[in-house]
Amino acid sequence: MEADKGPLDRPTAAEYATWFKALADPTRIQIVSLLARQGRPLNVGEIVEAVAVGQSTVSAHLKVLAEVRFVLAERRGTARYYRINEACIACFPTAADVVMGRPAPEGAR
């Protein structure tokens, strides 16, 4: 079966663009990497300590990542804990393949 030679449809392209834009910052990449590797929710203080930038900067980056659902937040008392959204992270490599015109990996959405 021959691959479609046309561009992605506009809604899919727009969704993927938000994902790529959300990761277009080194600190956000560090945060996603940290949360994925820790495998447990972290509070903002723990993230600040690990990525060595200010609390307000980390909070702003977490907001961007939460908007595209790369990270999920939960409130515990007065603190917010952030964790990686495994479903979204699993889709991201597939998005990159689709954008580049490659077949999606086996079992991908």
pLDDT for 10: 93
DSSP structure class, residue 24: -
Would 108 be classed as within a structural domain? no
Higher pLDDT, 100 or 65: 65
Nearest-CA neighbor of 95 among 3, 14, 39, 5?
Answer: 14
At 78-103, the pLDDT tens digits run: 999 999 998 876 676 676 666 666 76
Q: Give the CATH number for residue 19.
A: 1.10.10.10
Domains contained in the chain, number: 1
At 23-45, the pLDDT tens digits run: 899 999 999 999 989 989 999 99
Would 5 be classed as within a structural domain? no
Would 3 be classed as within a structural domain? no
Range of the domain at 36: 10-96
Would 107 be classed as within a structural domain? no
The position carrying tokens 């509070």 is 43
User: What does the alpha-carbon distance between residue 41 and residue 44 come to, in Å, rounded to a whole number?
Assistant: 10
Would 57 be classed as within a structural domain? yes
Its pTM stands at: 0.78
Would 30 be classed as within a structural domain? yes
